[in-house]
């Protein structure tokens, strides 16, 4: 199964990776949150 087929699998995986990166580099929090929101918004609009 390709990860891009199901947002139900992809979004938690992205959230986990971003959470780990934020713990390592806290100053990048704003960038990661903005990218996550943009990505999840696009997926929501596309269905």
The pTM (predicted TM-score) of the whole model is 0.47
What pLDDT sits at residue 1? 47
2 three-class SS: coil
Interval 1-47: pLDDT, tens: 455 566 677 788 888 887 888 888 888 788 877 888 898 889 888 87
How is the chain split into domains, by residue range?
A: 8-46
Q: What's the first-to-final CA gap in the chain, in angstroms?
A: 19
């Amino acid at each position: 199964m390709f990860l891009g087929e199901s947002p139900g699998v992809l979004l938690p995986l992205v959230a986990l990776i971003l959470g780990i990166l934020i713990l390592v580099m806290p100053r990048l929090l704003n960038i990661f949150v903005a990218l996550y929101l943009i990505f999840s918004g696009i997926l929501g609009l596309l269905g």
